[in-house]
C-alpha cells in the first residue's frame, strides 16, 4: 500500500478513465442482434456457450423455489429477513406523492407519480451469488408499485440457480426468475422473446458485457446506471483505529483487482499504522491474492494537509462509498458534495451498508456520484405533468402565448390559442 | 387525415421504431474524437463547416447581451417574464429536501440532496430560435442550485446568436453562452476544451446529430433524454369543439414531418367534423406544406368503441402530450398510466404548456413516457445516502452482517465487522 501526497495523487489520476471497449461492443451488438432475431433459440445457444449448460426451460419453476427454500440455513433466512426490514423501512421514506396546486382564476397544475409497469433486475451468478443485490434492487421496485418484477441471473453449471438467490427473490417479492446471464439477458429483457417479457427498465450490477449491453439498449428501455469497479474512500484523523480502517480498505479490495481503496488522512503516523495493519490482516484473508493486486493497482493512503484539503480530494473523486472516521463526522457532512453513500464514525463500516443498514448498496461508481444517485424508489416511478386552465384563465394568458409562439415562428401554435378566442388566423 | 379503427392503428404501429443510425453515428464519433483531441481548433473548424461562419470568440460577450436587449420587443419581454414566473412557481414545488430518520439504539439514516455543480444546456439555433426552451431548461437547473449553467447554441450566419434567445438566457439566469451547435457542442460540454468548461450533465433538445452525440457521451456525463419527434394525442368526446381539436393537431404537425398528431374519439361524426376542420384551417396556415406531409405520414383519427378502449391506446402509445377533451377530464386521470404531460378540458391546449403554464415542455417522446419523466428540478440534483451506527447498534447487527457477507464469499467484508468485535479472522 503506497503512501503518497495529495499532489502526487492528482498526477496519478489523469486520464485513467479512457479504455477501449471496441472488442466488447462488437460481441455485445452481435448478441443483441441475434436475440432480437431468434429469441429463445438464441438465448439457449448463448447460455450453452457462455454458461456451459443446456437449459430447456428458461424460467425457474415453483418446484425449484421450494427446493431452494429447503437448502438455505435458518441463520441466513433470519439475517435476510432483518436486512429486508431495514431496506424496506429506509426506502419507504423515499416514496413520493402526486401533488397539485390551485392558482386563482381556475388554474390547476400538478405532478402525477406513476410506477413503471415492468422492470428487469440483473443479478450476476455462475460461481458467485449475491442475494443482497436481489434485496437492494427488488425491494425499491416493489415499494414503488411496479406490477411485474423479473430477475435474470445466469445458471450454475448444474442448470440451477443458487438457492440463496432464489430465497432472496421470493422474500423481496420478485414475480419471475429467468435463468439467463450476460448481454443475452439484457437483450431479452429489453426487446422480449417467446419466454421473456419486454420490460420498461433494466437495473442491477453485472460484468463488462452486461454494462455495455445496458448502454446499447438504453433509449429503447431505461437503465439504472453503467456500473464500474467499486470504490471506497476513507477520511480519517487520529481518532480512528488503524485496524478498523485497514479492515474496511481490505473489504473493498477483495471485490476485484480493479476495485479502488483509498484512505485520506491528515496524520502521517496514522498512515504508517494503517499500512502495517493492512499487511498484518491481509495475510489471514481468504481472498488475499486479489486483495494484494487490487491494493497495488488502486490502493493509496494520501496525506492531506488538513480536513478541508481532504474533502477537496473527496469531491474531485466523487467516491461510491465514503467513510468519515473523524472527530465530528456529522458536522462535516456539509463539506461533502459528491459521494454515493456517506458512512459516519468508527462503527459504520461499508459492509454495514452493503448488507444491512437499509440505504441502497447500488451506488454511482467511477466518479459518477458527481451527477448520479443511489438506486431508489425514485428509479421505479415516473412523473406526468398536469395542466388545467379555465376558459377565462386561457383568455388572460392568450396574448403572451400568441406572442411567444409567433416569435418562434410556430404560427399554428398561435392559431390553437386564436381559435379559442374566435379569431383564427387560418 | 386518415380516420381508422383501433385495430387498424395497432397494425400500423408495428416496427416503426427501428431506424438505421449507422451513418450519423460514424460522423458523430469522428466529431467527438476530433473535439477531444484538438479542442477549440476543432470547434472552430466544425462551426465553419456546419454553420457556415468563422467564429473567433466562442463565448457571447457582455456587449452582445446588451445589443440583444435593445433588439427585442417589449411585448416579447413581458410575455417572457410572465412565462418565467409561471415556470418558476411550478418548478419550485418540485424541490426536494434532504431528510434523516433516527432509529433506536443510536442509528441515524438519511438522504442528502445536492445540486449538480455544472450543467450544459443545448438550444437549437441557426435559422430557428427557441427562447422558450431556454427558460424550460435553465430555470429548473437554477432552482436546483446548480452553480454554473452554460448554454450552447449554434450561431446565425452573421456569427451572432438570436437576440430573443440571449434575452431569455439572461432572464433565466444562465452563466455563459457558447456559440456552438451540433455534435461538436455536445463533445465540448462533455469533455471540455480551452474555452468550454466540462459539465456534469447535458440537457436540451436537438437534431439527430445532437441526440446521437448525447447518447455517445452518456456515462462520461449525465444526459436528460434522447429526444425524438414530438407527439400529441387527443382523446375527445362529443363535448369537444372540432375546431379546437383540429387546431391543436395542426400545432403539433407544424413542428416537422415526423411529428405525430393523433386524435382518439368515440364519436364517428366528431371524427368527420375534425377532418373537415383540419382541411379548412390548414389552408390558411403558414407552415401548411410541413403540416400536410406530417399529417399524411403520422396524423390519424382513431375511432375507439368507448373511453376505456381509448385510454388503452393512450397507455400503449405513452404520448409526449395528451389532451383529455372529454366530459370529466380530471375524473379520468386515474386511467392514464403513461403520458409526458396531461392537458385537461377544452381550454388547455398544448401550446399553453409549450410556452406558458409552468410545467416543463421538455417531455419524454417516442413512447419513453412509459419510463421517463418531464425535465424537472430532480434532474439537476442527486442524492447521497447517510449511514451512522453507534457501537452498540453495530454489535447488535453484527451476526447478520457476518452471515450475509460469508454467504456471498466476501470474507474480508465479514472481517471488517469482526475486527470491531475484537475477533478478526485475519
> Closest approach of chain B CAs to the CA of A268, in angstroms?
23
- Window from A3-12, A177-186, B148-157, B161-170 with minimum mean pLDDT: A3-12
Q: How far is CA A90 from CA B109, B232, B384, in A?
A: 8, 39, 13
Do the domain assignments include residue B283?
yes
With cut-offs at 50, 70 and 90, classify the pLDDT of residue A21: low
pLDDT score of B15 more than 70: no
- Say how far apart CA B365 and CA B367 lie, in whole Å: 6
Confidence band, pLDDT 50/70/90 cuts, at residue A320: very high
For B192-256, where are the alpha helices, taking DSSP H only? 208-217, 242-253
CB distance A383 to A113 below 8 Å = yes
Please compute the mean of the pLDDT values over residues A47-61 and round it to a whole number. 94
Same domain membership, residue B337 and residue B299: yes
* C-beta atoms of B400 and A363 within 8 A: no
Q: Which domain holds residue A174?
A: 22-223
Q: What is the mean pLDDT of residues B151-179?
A: 96
Rg of chain A on CA atoms, in Å: 26
Mean of the per-residue pLDDT values of chain B = 93
Q: How far apart are CA A274 and CA A289, in angstroms?
A: 19
All residues at 6 or more sequence positions from B17 whose CB lies less than 8 Å from its CB, including other chains? A220, B366, B367
Name the domain boundary from A223, A258, A276: A223
Answer yes or no: do A247 and A216 share one domain: no
B12, part of any domain: no
User: Are A234 and A217 in a shared domain?
Assistant: no
Structural domain includes residue A406: yes
Above pLDDT 70, what percent of chain A? 97
Among A315, A352, A360, most B C-beta atoms within 10 A, so best to mutate, is: A352
ipTM of the complex: 0.93
Burial of B80 (0-12, 13-18, 19+ CB in 10 A): buried
pLDDT value at position A16?
Answer: 45
Lowest mean pLDDT among A355-369, B14-28, B43-57, B353-367: B14-28
Residue A22 has pLDDT above 90, yes or no: no
Q: Which of A175, A197, A223 is the last residue of a domain?
A: A223
Out of B131, B251, B340, closest to residue A412 by CB: B251
Whether A124 has a pLDDT exceeding 80, the answer reads: yes
B249 or B4: which carries more pLDDT confidence? B249
**Total Cβ atoms within 10 A of residue A140:** 30
Give the model confidence (pLDDT) of B215-236 as tens digits. 899 888 999 977 778 899 999 9
Give me the pLDDT at residue B20, please. Answer: 52
- Return the pLDDT at A14: 52
CB contact under 8 A, B393 and A347: yes
Q: Are residues A300 and A360 in the same domain?
A: yes
Q: Are residues B396 and B336 in the same domain?
A: no
Q: Identify whether residues A176 and A32 lie together within a single domain.
A: yes
- Does some domain include residue A384? no
B292: domain CATH number is 3.40.50.1980
Chain B environment of A348 (Cβ under 8 Å): 387-389, 394
Chain B positions in Cβ-Cβ contact with residue A369 (cut-off 8 Å): 382, 384
For A255, the closest chain B residue by CA position comes to B410
Given its phi and psi angles, is residue A98 left (phi above 0), alpha (psi -120 to 50 degrees) or beta?
A: beta
Of A89, A337, A352, the CB nearest to B387: A352
Percent of the residues in chain A that have a pLDDT greater than 90, as a whole number: 86
A322-331, A414-423, B9-18, B272-281: range with lowest mean pLDDT: B9-18
pLDDT at A15 over 50: no
In a domain, A9, yes or no: no
A132 and A238 co-located in one domain: no
Indicate if A217 and A235 belong to the same structural domain: no
Among B163, B189, B223, identify where a domain stops.
B223
**Predicted pLDDT at B8:** 79
Mean pLDDT of A287-291: 92
Are residues A164 and A33 both part of a single domain?
A: yes
Residue B426 pLDDT level (bands cut at 50, 70, 90): low
Residue B368, pLDDT > 70, answer yes
Tell me the pLDDT tens digit for each residue of A377-417.
999 999 999 999 999 999 999 999 999 999 999 999 999 99
Q: In this structure, are residues B200 and A373 in contact, taking their beta carbons and an 8 Å threshold?
A: no
Distance CA A126, CA A133 (A): 15
Give the mean pLDDT of chain A: 93
Shared domain for A196 and A261, answered yes or no, is no
Are the beta carbons of B338 and A107 separated by less than 8 Å? no
**Which residues, 6+ apart, have CB-to-CB distance to A104 below 8 Å?**
none
Establish whether A22 is an annotated binding residue.
Answer: no
Q: What is the interface size between A and B, counted as CB pairs within 8 Å?
A: 406
Q: How far is residue A88 CA from its own chain's centroid?
A: 17
Distance from CA of B267 to the nearest CA of A (A): 22
Given A164, A243, A282, which is nearest B407 (Cβ)? A164
- Residue A60 · residue A125 · CB < 8 Å: no
* Residue A154 and residue A236 in one domain: no
Task: Tell me if B117 and A400 make a contact (CB, 8 A cut-off).
Answer: no
CB-based contacts of A19: which residues, under 8 Å, 6+ apart? none
pLDDT tops 80 at residue A99: yes
Whether residue A408 is contained in a domain is answered as yes
Q: Is B216 within a domain?
A: yes
Is there a domain that residue B294 lies in? yes
Inter-chain touch B344–A387, beta carbons under 8 Å = yes
Instruction: Report CB contact under 8 Å: B93, A75.
Output: no
Does residue A213 sit in the same domain as residue A290? no
Count up the domains in chain A and report the number: 3
**Chain B: closest CA distance from residue A186 (Å):** 17
> Is the predicted pLDDT of residue A263 greater than 60, yes or no?
yes
* Per-residue model confidence as pLDDT tens digits over A193-251: 999 999 999 999 888 899 999 989 988 899 997 777 889 999 999 999 999 999 999 99
In the predicted model, what is the mean pLDDT of residues B170-180?
Answer: 98
Band (A12; pLDDT cuts 50, 70, 90): confident
Amino acid at each position: 500500500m503506497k503512501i503518497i501526497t495529495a499532489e502526487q495523487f492528482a498526477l496519478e489520476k489523469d486520464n485513467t478513465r479512457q479504455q477501449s471497449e471496441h472488442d466488447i461492443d462488437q460481441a455485445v451488438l452481435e448478441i443483441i442482434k441475434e436475440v432480437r432475431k431468434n429469441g429463445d433459440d438464441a438465448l439457449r445457444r448463448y447460455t450453452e456457450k457462455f454458461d456451459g449448460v443446456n437449459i430447456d426451460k428458461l424460467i425457474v419453476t415453483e418446484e425449484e423455489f421450494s427446493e431452494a427454500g429447503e437448502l438455505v440455513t435458518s441463520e441466513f433466512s433470519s439475517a435476510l429477513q432483518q436486512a429486508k426490514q431495514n431496506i424496506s423501512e429506509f426506502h419507504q421514506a423515499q416514496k413520493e406523492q402526486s401533488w397539485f396546486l390551485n392558482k386563482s382564476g381556475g388554474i390547476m397544475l400538478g405532478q402525477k407519480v406513476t410506477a413503471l409497469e415492468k422492470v428487469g433486475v440483473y443479478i450476476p451468478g455462475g460461481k458467485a451469488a449475491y442475494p443482497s443485490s436481489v434485496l437492494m434492487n427488488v425491494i425499491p421496485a416493489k415499494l414503488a408499485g411496479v406490477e411485474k418484477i423479473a430477475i435474470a441471473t445466469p445458471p450454475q453449471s448444474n442448470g440451477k440457480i443458487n438457492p440463496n438467490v432464489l430465497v432472496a427473490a421470493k422474500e423481496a417479492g420478485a414475480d419471475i426468475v429467468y435463468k439467463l446471464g450476460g448481454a443475452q439477458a439484457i437483450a431479452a429483457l429489453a426487446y422480449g422473446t417467446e419466454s421473456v417479457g419486454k420490460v420498461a427498465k433494466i437495473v442491477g450490477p453485472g460484468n463488462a458485457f452486461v454494462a455495455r449491453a445496458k448502454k446499447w439498449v438504453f433509449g429503447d428501455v431505461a437503465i439504472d446506471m453503467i456500473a464500474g469497479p467499486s470504490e471506497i474512500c476513507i477520511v480519517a484523523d487520529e481518532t480512528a483505529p488503524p485496524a478498523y480502517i485497514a479492515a474496511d480498505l481490505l473489504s473493498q479490495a477483495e471485490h476485484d483487482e480493479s476495485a479502488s481503496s483509498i484512505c485520506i488522512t491528515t496524520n502521517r503516523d496514522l498512515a504508517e499504522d494503517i499500512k502495517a495493519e493492512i499487511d498484518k490482516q491481509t495475510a489471514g484473508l481468504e481472498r488475499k491474492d486479489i486483495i494484494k493486486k487490487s491494493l497495488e493497482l488502486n490502493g493509496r493512503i494520501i496525506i492531506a494537509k488538513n480536513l478541508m484539503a481532504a474533502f477537496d480530494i473527496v469531491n474531485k473523486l466523487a467516491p461510491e462509498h465514503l467513510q468519515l472516521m473523524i472527530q465530528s463526522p456529522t458536522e462535516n457532512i456539509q463539506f461533502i458534495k459528491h459521494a454515493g453513500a456517506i458512512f459516519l464514525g468508527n462503527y459504520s463500516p461499508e459492509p454495514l451498508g452493503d448488507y444491512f443498514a437499509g440505504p441502497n448498496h447500488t451506488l454511482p461508481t467511477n466518479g459518477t456520484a458527481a451527477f448520479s444517485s443511489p438506486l431508489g424508489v425514485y428509479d421505479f416511478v415516473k412523473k406526468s405533468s398536469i395542466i388545467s386552465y379555465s376558459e377565462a384563465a386561457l383568455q388572460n394568458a392568450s396574448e403572451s402565448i400568441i406572442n411567444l409562439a409567433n416569435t418562434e415562428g410556430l404560427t399554428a401554435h398561435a392559431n390553437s390559442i386564436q381559435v379559442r378566442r374566435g379569431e383564427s388566423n387560418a
